Every structure is written in structure tokens, then in C-alpha cells.
Amino acid sequence: MVTVIKPNGKIRICIDPRDLNKAILREHYPLKTVVEEVISQMPNAKVFSKLDATSGFWHIQLDEPSSKLCTFNTPFGRYRFARLPFGINSASEVFQKIVSEMVSDIEGAEAIIDDILIWGSDQKEHDMRLKQVLDRAREYNLKLSAGKCEISKPEVTYVGHRLTSEGVKPDPEKIRAVNKMSKPECVKDLQTFMGFIQYLGKFMPNMSTVSAPLRTLLEKKHSMALG
């Protein structure tokens, strides 16, 4: 058993399933990690809501054989998970499949892991779609985190992007993180920095030109002189 402190200070109980993961035949359900796939569907969006599924994996009940495979030891005896625990390597695919199927026939709704996005071209359209998603969540017994949900907003942050009625903008938190980064002092630091700012490329048409001197420093024939 492994305990992890969550951002809100609460404890998450996990298992260490490294041996089990080696034997699992993964679901291979495509994970949506590129927000552009979602953005392309919402050219006229003006009103947004974002719903967060609380303890997402725990909504999925395990069958008896799978539950027994998730047995773990504690000082108080042996226990097994009745629902999908964190740490299983196929958990994200399994959960993504269920949530995607839940909203698949609802126009103006999309899910990436445990974040469900709803949008509409006006308040009426948005509210109708939001009600459809909430009704469907109730049917699936999907519990939402009230503290993390954002309802009927002119803009929301979704998967590292700020979605607004004026279009897509970079997440202010990511910009602040870039501004707070220390000056690179070695190749590894520069590689980390370049990887981080790659996210901003889509918002900076001249990104390639601006970053060219830094990319040159990563070539083997050049020595680092960043101090």
C-alpha cells in the first residue's frame, strides 16, 4: 500500500502494482490529450462549463477476479480494492472510454479523462447541453467535485488552455511558470526550458525565429555559455 498526499492535503490510498502492470493486457482506448481536437468542434462557443469527476477511477467496479488481483497488505491484514485503484496502468484508458461514451451523443460536450467540458453559442444552448450532461452523469452515478466545477462562464481553463468567447489563449499559470524559471546553466536545463516553452509555440507565430539561438546551443558542435 502506498499513500499519496493530494493537492488539497487529503490522503490518497494507492497500491504498488508494478508486477501486476507487467501482466495486464491494456485497453488501448485512445486517450484524448490534444486539446486542439476539442477546440476544432467549438468555433462559435461563448458560454462554458467544466465539470470534474471526483475520485474518477473509483466509479468503476471491478469484477471478482480483478478485485482479487488488487489485494494489498497492511499492518491490519489483507484487503482488496472493490473498485479500480490508482496505479493500474490501464486505468486512464478504461475511465476515458466510459466517460467518453457517456457524453458521446451529446453535442457540445467533450471529456478528457475526468474533465468534462460543455459549451454553447449562447446561454440557452449551453444550459440545455449542461442539463443533458448532468442528467447523464446521474444515470452513470458519476459524482462531481463541486469545488472544482465551473458553471456558465465566459471562459475556462481546460487541459492547459484558456478557452474564451474570443478564442483560445495560453493558460496564465503556464506563462507565470515560464517567467519564474531560472536561467538555464547547462544543456539539461536548456532542454527542460525548450520543452516547456514548446507549449507556447501555437500562440507565437515567430516562435521558431525567436528560439533559434537557443536551439543552436543544443547542437553538439556548440559549447554552452549560459552563465
Q: Write out pLDDT tens, residues 47-64.
A: 999 999 887 788 888 999
pLDDT value at residue 34: 57
- The verdict on 122 and 157 lying in the same domain is yes
**C-beta neighbour count of 190 within 10 angstroms:** 18
- DSSP code, position 7: T
Specify whether 136 is located in the same domain as 211: no
**Based on the domain organization, do 162 and 184 belong to the same domain?**
no
In this predicted model, what pLDDT tens digit does every residue of 64-115 receive, in sequence order?
999 999 888 888 899 999 998 888 888 888 888 888 899 999 999 998 888 9
Which pLDDT belongs to residue 25? 80
Question: Of 129, 149, 170, which residue is a domain's last?
Answer: 170
pTM to 2 decimal places: 0.75
**Model confidence at 205, in pLDDT bands (50, 70, 90)?**
confident
Average pLDDT over the chain reads: 85
Among 147, 170, 193, give the residue marking a domain's end: 170
> Residue 169 has which C-alpha cell?
489563449
Same domain, 94 and 11: yes
Q: Do 142 and 40 share a domain, yes or no? A: yes
In the three-class reduction of DSSP (H, G, I as helix; E, B as strand; rest coil), residue 5 is classed as strand
User: Model confidence at 216, in pLDDT bands (50, 70, 90)?
Assistant: confident
Is 97 in the same domain as 162?
A: yes
Residues 162 and 180 in one domain: no
Q: Which pLDDT does position 13 carry in this prediction?
A: 74
- DSSP-assigned letters across all residues of 6-70: -TTS-EEEE---HHHHHH-----PPP---THHHHTT-TT--EEEEEEBTTGGGGSBPPHHHHHHT
Tens digits of residue pLDDT in 26-50? 777 666 655 677 777 788 899 999 9
Domain that holds residue 129: 2-170
Total structural domains within the chain: 2
Query: Do 176 and 201 lie in a common domain?
Result: yes
Specify whether 175 is located in the same domain as 117: no
Would you put residue 83 in left (φ > 0), alpha (ψ -120 to 50) or beta?
A: beta
Whether residue 188 sits in one domain with residue 157: no
Same domain, 163 and 178: no
Q: What is the CATH number of the domain that holds 8?
A: 3.30.70.270
Rounded distance between C-alpha atoms, residue 118 and residue 125, angstroms: 10
Question: Do 165 and 180 have their domain in common?
Answer: no
